[in-house]
Structure 1
């Protein structure tokens, strides 16, 4: 099976979108990762949810996990305050990852290898019509696992 057959429509946000809107989309849809595209719909970043949560945790708690135990939830800065007025591109630069991208004819095994190698739960599928490259969907780790289990 090829990437195009495994790909599902996947919600994405652009680099220019409001960060708060993107965070709400991520939470409401319970996505494994945030797929960010540029204004031309080319993949810009795939940010796993674990990395999106970094904005809610003070740096000192990231560096010293024992200190995180001393914080109550109400001591953590409100995520909404941190994201207010930011674009997606401003929110994710230090947390973003280079997107894992495949063409529409990429095999399932190659996609799985890419996910395993890059530690990403999501791979963007792109197609090129000769003039431009655009995102057509995404393959999630869950969808790929479902496919592999059905093979046995």
Structure 2
């Protein structure tokens, strides 16, 4: 079994989409994460659900978690709306870490190791710079159980 055998279509989001768009897409389609693509449709980064959440939580709370306790409930409930208008491009300025991106010929073991190493619940499958689809951890585990 190769990556190409387990592909699913996973919606992508572009660099000019907002953080609110990203959260909406994640929640409405119950996705394990998002693939952010450039103008050519090539993956720029791959974000798990918790990495998208990191875009929502204010930076000062990430730097000093004690500050979370001083934010009142009304402001805490509205944290997503505080990101209104912020684009993915603006949020992804830091150099990316190793991305969970694989070629279509990767084996189940190679895919599992990549998911573990990058701590990602899915892998973007790319061939010659073109996104073919994605492979989820659940699909991989189902296939491994069936073997």
TM-score interval w.r.t. the shorter chain?
Answer: 0.7 to 0.9
User: Cα 1:93–1:142, aligned 2, differ >3 Å: closer, same or farther?
Assistant: farther
| Map of 1:80 onto structure 2 | 81
Query: Equivalent residue for 1:47?
Result: 47
Deviations 1:32-53 (A, max 9, x none): 1111111112111011111211
Match of 1:93 in 2: 93
| TM-score, length basis structure 1 | 0.82
SS at match of 2:8: coil
Which ranges of structure 1 fall in alignment gaps of 5 or more residues?
none
Aligned residue in 1 for 2:15 = 15
1:83 and 1:119 map into 2 onto residues whose CA distance is 28
Alignment match, 1:113: 113
Q: Structure 2: where are the runs of 5+ without partners?
A: none
**Contact 2:58/2:79 (<8 A) preserved:** no
The two structures have a TM-score, normalised by structure 2, of 0.84
- Alignment RMSD: 2.3
Which residue does 2:35 correspond to in 1? Answer: 35
**CA deviation profile, 1:113-152 (whole Å, cap 9, x unmatched):** 0111111111111123xxxx2101001111111111222x
Alpha-carbon offset, residue 6 of structure 1: 1.0
